[in-house]
Structure formats: C-alpha cells, structure tokens
C-alpha cells in the first residue's frame, strides 16, 4: 500500500486513462505509446519534485517498459489476423536492431530538447505525408541492398533514444515507398517489441546509484507507473488490433496522420 500511495489519485486517473489510449494506438495503428507516456510521466515526476535530469531517463525507461508489454498483446492479435508482413520483418529486422542499439548508447549523450525537436519535425512531416496518401511518395518500392537498410536503422535509433515505439516511425516511413498501411501496422507492432526489449533491460540496469527516484523505481523504471499504464493497455490493444484488420484504409491512414501531427505539436510545446 505504501508504494501505491506514492502517486496521488489524480495521477492514477491520468495513468489509467493514458494506458487505455496507448492500448488503442498500439492495437489500431501499431504505435508503441511511448510518445503518449513520456510527456505524461515527465509532468507527473515534475509534480513529485524530481529534477529534469532524474525525471527524463525515468520517464523514458518507464515508457519503454510499457511499450514492451503493450506490444506483446498487439503482436498476438495482429499475428492471429494475419496482418504481420514477415518478409518485411526479415528485411528490416537487422537494421532496426543495430539502430536501436545505437540509440540506446548515444541517446543519453544528446540533450533531450534536441532529440524531441528532431522528432517533432520528423513526425509532422510524416503526418502530412500520410494525410496526402499516394500523392506523395519517394518511390514505388523500397531500395535494395545497403540503401534499403538506412530507413530501418534510423527508425530503430530514433525510437530507442526517445523511448517511443518503432511502429510510430516505421509505418509512415514505409508509406513513403507505397507500402500497404495495414501490413505496415502489423510489422510496426513487432518492431515495437524488438526496440523496447533491449531498451527496457538497459533502463532497468541504469540509475541505481542516483538519488531522487520514487520508492517504486527499479533502475530507471517506475514499476507502479508501468502497472497502471499496462493493465488497461492489455485489455484494449487486442480489441483495437482486431478492429484494425477490418477498418477502412482511409480511416487508418488519416488517424495515423492526425496522431503524428498531434504528437509533433505536443513535443514542440514541451521543448
């Protein structure tokens, strides 16, 4: 009970509501949800009196752990609906793994405001692209060879450094090459898992020697927040993934575009 009392009732309401929304995004659009959780957690931790130096890695680590849990439920649902494009996964997976390792290693060295500003610009551009649909494409197919590994490496590195799901970036990037959005969403849920697993392990191992964290933290992960975010996500994500298999493509594309633009605006205001 002592651990539960760390956070006031209003924080619990916000965390549970955010968890349900994360489950919706994860299941319907393959978005990991870290982009929702990180700004919320930063505000909650600031309200507990934490410094930005302590709150930022704790928020990112907690968000990555939540993305890991939510992505498991989404992958099972998308896989059962046949929405995971396994050839795409095999083609992108090595570069995504290498990129995420680079993001985990180099992310803490970059100023948080620089990272969020870069992502805000990137997300806004991709959101506009999705809104325009086939009127704006880079090519009708992905480049082959080494050139084809640039995009997944960037997706992995930026997602790991910012604590967001890989699907948040992989789906709109794939749309630049006219890749079907429904297949991209299913693969994005798996990329969320691939990126969040090593990131979660890294954040669990960090921060032990630093003070100022709440009593529920394990390394740079606030466990009570993980539970509050993950429980509703586990319920909502499978339902949303099932609906995603039948939702109109125009609705999926426009919903994803709206989410990206909203994320960009939120991050721009937070920097």
Which structural domain, as residue segments, surrounds residue 29?
Answer: 9-270
- Ranges of residues in the chain with a pLDDT under 70 are 1-5, 32, 80-81, 112, 122, 126, 129-130, 132-148, 163, 165, 207-212, 267, 270-271
The answer as to whether 2 is a domain residue is: no
pLDDT of residue 212: 66
The answer as to whether 14 is a domain residue is: yes
The values of phi and psi at residue 222, to 5°, are -90, 105
The answer as to whether 197 is a domain residue is: yes
The answer as to whether 155 is a domain residue is: yes
Residue with structure tokens 């020697």?
Answer: 209
pLDDT of residue 167: 76
First to last CA, the chain: 35
The values of phi and psi at residue 217, to 5°, are -80, 140
The answer as to whether 180 is a domain residue is: yes
Question: 26 CB contacts (<8 Å, ≥6 apart)?
Answer: 32, 33, 67, 70, 71, 73, 74, 165, 167, 189, 192, 233, 237, 240, 241
The answer as to whether 185 is a domain residue is: yes
Rounded Cα–Cα distance for residues 112 and 231 (Å): 28
pLDDT of residue 218: 83
- With H, G, I as helix, E, B as strand and everything else as coil, classify residue 80: helix
Q: Quote the number of domains for the chain.
A: 1
The answer as to whether 3 is a domain residue is: no
The answer as to whether 72 is a domain residue is: yes
pLDDT of residue 1: 45
Rounded Cα–Cα distance for residues 42 and 40 (Å): 5
């Amino acid at each position: 009970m002592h651990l539960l009392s760390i956070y006031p009732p209003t924080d619990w309401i916000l965390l549970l509501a955010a968890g349900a929304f994360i489950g919706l995004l994860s299941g319907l659009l393959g978005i990991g949800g870290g982009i929702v959780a990180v700004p919320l957690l930063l505000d909650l931790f600031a309200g507990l009196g934490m410094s930005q130096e302590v709150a930022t890695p704790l928020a990112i680590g907690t968000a990555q752990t939540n993305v890991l849990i939510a992505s498991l439920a989404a992958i099972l649902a998308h896989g059962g609906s046949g929405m995971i494009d396994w050839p795409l996964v095999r083609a992108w997976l090595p570069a995504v793994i290498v990129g995420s390792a680079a993001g985990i290693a180099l992310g803490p060295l970059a100023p948080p405001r620089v990272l969020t500003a870069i992502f805000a610009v990137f997300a806004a551009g991709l959101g506009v692209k999705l809104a325009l649909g086939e009127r704006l494409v880079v090519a009708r197919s992905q480049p082959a060879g080494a050139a084809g590994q640039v995009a997944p490496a960037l997706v992995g590195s930026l997602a790991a450094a910012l604590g967001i799901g890989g699907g948040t970036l992989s789906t709109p990037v794939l749309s630049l090459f006219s890749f079907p959005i429904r297949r991209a969403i299913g693969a994005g849920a798996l990329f969320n898992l691939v990126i969040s697993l090593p990131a979660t392990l890294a954040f669990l191992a960090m921060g032990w020697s630093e003070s100022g964290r709440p009593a529920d933290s394990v390394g740079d992960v606030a466990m009570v927040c993980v539970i509050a975010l993950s429980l509703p996500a586990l319920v909502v994500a499978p339902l949303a993934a099932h609906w995603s298999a039948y939702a109109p493509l125009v609705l999926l594309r426009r919903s994803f575009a709206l989410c990206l633009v909203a994320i960009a605006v939120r991050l721009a205001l937070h920097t």
